[in-house]
Structure 1
Amino acid sequence: MAEIRTERLLLRPARAGDLEALHFILSDARAMAYWSSLPHRELDQSREWLQSMIDNPDGEGEDFVVEHQGRVIGKAGLFRFPEIGFLFDPAVWGRGFAQEALRPVLDRAFAVHGLARVVADVDPRNRASLRLLARLGFRETERKAKTWLIGDVWCDSVYLRLDAAGWPAARVRPVNPA
């Protein structure tokens, strides 16, 4: 898996040494408010989650740890093609890091992996993620009620889609492997 450098970020493969930093994010209730699971209470939950990132088979997905100035601030990628996902430390929200990370992920999805589309499943209460995906060209395709049982609360889904044709060549920048 490639490493990608943007103006401010490094997107790289996950490694075992990322456990503490990712657990810090995965155990934060704000970061996990709209995720598909409750915040992680135990380090072993995060270890298992991280190991699934590390063990993601080639050709099934491409998920990156995101660093800023040498510090892990989140993850962005396609754990399983073609679904995109991202999670960032709330301390860095509002600084444009998610959009900066997702652009090269989408570039690779279409140009390197040849995907015809990328999809997203977003909790409708997560307005920030819905706005971000709309800015990237995603369009809503469907809404469904009670799609995720998180703890004892049923959550709904907004499904979005970005077709390769909707990711204009003018927007695709060369991917710079590190």
Structure 2
Amino acid sequence: MNVRTLICAPTNVAIKELASRLIALVRNSVEAEYEKSFFPCPLGDMLIFGNKDRLKVGSDIEEISLDYRLERLSHCLVPQTGWRHCVATMLGFLEDCVSQYQIYMDNELIKAKESLQHEVQSNKSFLEFARDSFAHIATPLRSCMSTFLTHLPRSCILENNFQRIVQLMSLLDSMEISCLKTAA
């Protein structure tokens, strides 16, 4: 079913109320269908635009606001911090975390020598380093993927790419849980 709907209302209050109710319906539908915490609410097919001050866009409808959506998507598309950078960083960490830990230990040794500390300084174990590094790298990656699933229209993401993003987020959650289990 390929339907486009344009909704107009006589006042900004009516527009805001209608948008708020529509978002609530979509969120409830998603929560009922997907009982997974990582699955974001797909709002990419909805858009509200207009004078932000007049509409008084609040947290209830800001996710479908054009300005907010552009800000979030542009953050995920910037070469220095965007999704490609996040994926490359995660791959680099997973492929080379042992040598990254060695570099970390070498840097800590240099810092200790420079500060001439005679105190015994406890460095992170490999597991602590891996857990902290993974959390630091996974957070922006998860954020970018969630932003894409939330703010891009479903027709812009191929079905196999959609499934891969969902699988990636599930794997990130599983790896994070595994890291926490080994800490206990």
Q: What's the TM-score, normalizing by structure 2?
A: 0.24
From the two aligned structures, give the one with the greater helix fraction: 2
Q: Which structure is richer in relative contact order (CA contacts within 8 A, separation 6 or more)? A: 2
Greater Rg over alpha carbons, structure = 2
Greater strand share, structure number:
1
Could you tell me the TM-score, scaled by structure 1's length?
Answer: 0.24
